[in-house]
Chain A
């Protein structure tokens, strides 16, 4: 079974530029998460989708971050304009609503450096 796929793996941009990250969850997983993990900290939930609907985006900085999951499968996270403090790993994860107690599985992450 293929895991959570993310791209790009690494991105360096200047502040005020924009960037987009893509995620393809495990096949059949209804729930998709985007986490931000700053070096030395635990993952912080940015947004959670169930199918193509948003369940929780309370910690998403909506003035600069946006995310969509139009067809209930792939998702895109965009940052525009980027700030220095956005430098972090952006982790996409997915989970099934059935069977394994809502265990979430992470992708390899997209590493963002804002200079």
Chain B
């Protein structure tokens, strides 16, 4: 079983729609969760972090965490063509500060 699993996509949504990206993880000791965006040919950049169960909103982005189900998601509202990128889910265990990444979901937002 992979430590962090994501659907590879591609996920295609029309401009203005909601894009929903999902991630599951295997380490129950994980304590912090991150979404990174990676444009083609660039390094990952942090979009959001979440540490507690529930929702966390930042502009058009909402991260959702359910530790019991070992599930974290990212919603992008009013999707824009500039949101087209690969979205990486990352999970960290504070005990060893060990950050593990999923394979990423490629999102395409069509004008």
* Total residues of chain A contacting the partner, CB 8 A: 27
Closest chain B residue to A41 by CB distance? B103
> Could you tell me if B99 and A101 are in contact, using CB atoms closer than 8 angstroms?
no
Within 8 A of A (CB), among B1-31: 4, 6
Tell yes or no: B69 within 8 A of A by CB: no
Contact of A106 with B99 at beta-carbon distance under 8 Å, contacts A42-B104, A101-B32, A101-B49 already known:
no
**Majority-rule SS of B interface residues:** strand
Contact of A48 with B101 at beta-carbon distance under 8 Å, contacts A91-B43, A101-B32, A102-B92 already known:
no
* Total residues of chain B contacting the partner, CB 8 A: 24
**Majority-rule SS of A interface residues:** strand
In the bound complex, how far is the Cα of B101 from the Cα of A105, in angstroms?
A: 13
Contact of A103 with B96 at beta-carbon distance under 8 Å, contacts A43-B44, A109-B43 already known:
no
In the bound complex, how far is the Cα of B97 from the Cα of A55, in angstroms?
A: 9
> Could you tell me if A42 and B101 are in contact, using CB atoms closer than 8 angstroms?
yes
Tell yes or no: A12 within 8 A of B by CB: no
Contact of A105 with B46 at beta-carbon distance under 8 Å, contacts A33-B99, A56-B98 already known:
yes
Residues of B within 8 A of A44 (CB): 101
> Could you tell me if B43 and A97 are in contact, using CB atoms closer than 8 angstroms?
no
> Could you tell me if A45 and B43 are in contact, using CB atoms closer than 8 angstroms?
no
In the bound complex, how far is the Cα of B51 from the Cα of A43, in angstroms?
A: 21
List 6 A-B pairs, Cβ < 8 Å. Answer: A33-B99, A42-B88, A43-B88, A101-B49, A102-B32, A102-B99
